[in-house]
Chains A and B, each alone.
Chain A
Amino acid sequence: DQQVKQNSPSLSVQEGRISILNCDYTNSMFDYFLWYKKYPAEGPTFLISISSIKDKNEDGRFTVFLNKSAKHLSLHIVPSQPGDSAVYFCAASALGSSNTGKLIFGQGTTLQVKP
């Protein structure tokens, strides 16, 4: 049972345009969501997170939107740069219940930003 889903395995955008990466989840106990960026043969790098008490969090070029009723979150990158090309993982955690800090990851979306 895939509790966190990234249905688009890949996304290609032009440099300077907006990249929108989507993520859906099924477990209503999730209350904390994160986005990680990963290059091949490296560990994931934390990008941005959002708590379920918010619907938007912004950090520079990165903005995460959370729609709790739809159990959907998205990561917006604007403007996109070639250096943003990587695999992006969405992750979710249920911090408020038996908090082990366990993260459940989506399958990842490979973003390619073309110059």
Chain B
Amino acid sequence: GAVVSQHPSWVICKSGTSVKIECRSLDFQATTMFWYRQFPKQSLMLMATSNEGSKATYEQGVEKDKFLINHASLTLSTLTVTSAHPEDSSFYICSARGLAGRYSDTQYFGPGTRLTVL
């Protein structure tokens, strides 16, 4: 149980284009999903918290207009990196927390998406 998938697992794009990353909870309903970013040999930095049906809450320093988050259902959240630049190249990881009960007090992570912007 508690499987979270991400798609794509890696993506290479040209500077100036937009990239969408999907995060799905496969076997549980996730009221809250989180988006993290990890630079090489560094910790996971929380970018934003999204709750189903409402606007995401962004961490300080994260540009809302650049990193668009949509949490349209209890099993899907998307992160769109708009007008990507080389400095946006990173490993993006999502996590999901369940509605109640078994999956409600722990975040379960997806496998991550490696974004490379040329």
- Name A residues whose Cβ lies closer than 8 Å to a Cβ of B: 32, 34, 36, 41-46, 49, 89, 95, 100-108
Q: Which of A45, A49, A102, A104 contacts B49 (CB 8 A)?
A: A102
How many residues belonging to B are interface residues under a CB distance threshold of 8 Å? Answer: 25
B residues near A45, Cβ cutoff 8 Å: 109
Q: Which of B45, B95, B106 contacts A49 (CB 8 A)?
A: B106
Q: Which residue of A lies closest to B57 (CB)?
A: A100
Give Cα A112 to B50, complex, Å.
35
Chain A contact residues, majority secondary structure? loop
Interface centre among B44, B57, B97, B112 (most CB of A within 10 A): B44
Given contacts A49-B106, A101-B107, A103-B46, 5 further A-B contacts (CB under 8 A): A42-B111, A46-B109, A89-B43, A101-B32, A108-B43
Give Cα A107 to B45, complex, Å.
10
Q: Would B111 and A105 count as touching, CB distance under 8 A?
A: no
Q: Given that A41-B114, A102-B34 are known contacts, is A46 also in contact with B43, CB under 8 Å in the complex?
A: no
A residues near B109, Cβ cutoff 8 Å: 36, 43-46
Q: Would B43 and A95 count as touching, CB distance under 8 A?
A: no
Give 28 pairs: A residue, B residue, CB < 8 Å, sorted on A: A32-B105, A34-B106, A34-B107, A41-B112, A42-B111, A42-B112, A43-B93, A43-B110, A43-B111, A43-B112, A44-B44, A44-B93, A46-B2, A46-B106, A46-B107, A46-B108, A46-B109, A49-B106, A100-B57, A101-B32, A101-B49, A101-B97, A103-B46, A103-B107, A104-B46, A105-B43, A105-B44, A107-B43
